[in-house]
Amino acid sequence: MSYQTVALIGKPQHAATHDSLNLLAQYLTAKGCELLVEESISKELESDNHRACNLVTIGKEADLAVVVGGDGSMLGAARVLARFDIHVVGVNRGNLGFLTDIHPDEIVQQLDLIFEGECVVEKRFLLDVGVYRHEKLKSSNSAVNEVVLHHGKVAHMMEFEIYIDDQFVFSQRSDGLIVATPTGSTAYSLSAGGPIIMPKLDALTLVPMFPHTLSSRPIVVDADSQVSMKVSKVNSDSLQISCDSHIVLPVLPGDEIRINKSEDKLYLVHPKGYSYFNVLRKKLGWGSKLY
């Protein structure tokens, strides 16, 4: 791959991330790459052979971004970088690491493969969410993993209706609802009993959170559908929409939340030998081959 300008992004003041960032800076400088470093970590690098930038500048100018950290670091960067034509790869310095699949001990070997074109570029879609009050947009954001309607108080029921492409689906009393992408199907949605969806599928999963009926089950819908959640006026206040557990949008009784597939795409790079099912086996402790 022809990556001339490469950016480094990572978790500030984190010892393990610090080590990987300095190794990456040495590697990329030796490759002759122009090096951009996200401004919150630029002072942590031992070399000053780089330019400190914000994420928007990185998205506009870099060919490749290397995110060092856990899936949280990747999600925060991805919501911005997905607006631009940039490839993104992750070095796992977190816990699970579904999105950051390069092991810290294999940085050089894995990046060698990527620079030699021995890699897979995977396209992941995002979700756009808007909160409407009396048909006027009050707030909006985007999500890589999931959009969650939930109460501001723990273990607090709410009432809402679900519509898909303006067709009424069901009403529900529950703690909320998770609307997850295939990328997010191995995150919060999985913990709530949702299905694992292969990344190539153009689908969303709707997962009720602690519903007040045993017949309520997750449902998988076409990702090109508009999912609408109409919050009942009888709810108490302090409802919220969360995007990837990072961004919180306030919701009042009577509001409508509309979720659509975003036009933005995240281009994830995986070194040769990457297997989605291998990742699932490792992260979820699935059984290995019998023979």
Q: Is 274 annotated as a binding residue?
A: no
Return the structure tokens found at 283: 């992260």
165-188 b/e (C-beta count within 10 Å ≥ 16 → b):
eeeeeeebebbbbbbbbbbbbbbb
Q: Is 95 annotated as a binding residue?
A: no
Rounded CA gap, 72 and 94, in Å? 8
Q: Is 29 annotated as a binding residue?
A: no
Residue 263 confidence (pLDDT): 96
Return the beta strands (E) in 25-86 as ranges.
34-38, 51-53, 64-69
Residue 1 confidence (pLDDT): 65
Rounded CA gap, 17 and 285, in Å? 25
Return the beta strands (E) in the chain as ranges.
5-10, 34-38, 51-53, 64-69, 87-92, 119-133, 136-143, 146-151, 158-164, 167-174, 176-180, 203-209, 219-222, 227-231, 239-243, 247-251, 256-271
Three-state secondary-structure class, residue 264: strand
Q: What is the mean pLDDT of each run of 10 residues along the chain (291 residues)?
A: 91 86 94 95 88 96 95 93 96 83 92 94 97 97 97 86 97 95 96 96 96 91 98 87 95 96 96 90 88 87
275-284 b/e (C-beta count within 10 Å ≥ 16 → b):
ebeebeeeee
Q: Is 202 annotated as a binding residue?
A: no
Residue 149 confidence (pLDDT): 97
Rounded CA gap, 74 and 286, in Å? 25
Spatial neighbors of 122 by CB under 8 A, at least 6 apart, are 199, 267, 268, 269, 270
Q: Is 188 annotated as a binding residue?
A: yes
> Within a 10 A sphere around the Cβ of 15, how many other Cβ atoms?
7
Catalytic annotation, residues:
71
Contact 83, 59 (CB under 8 A): yes
Rounded CA gap, 28 and 51, in Å? 13
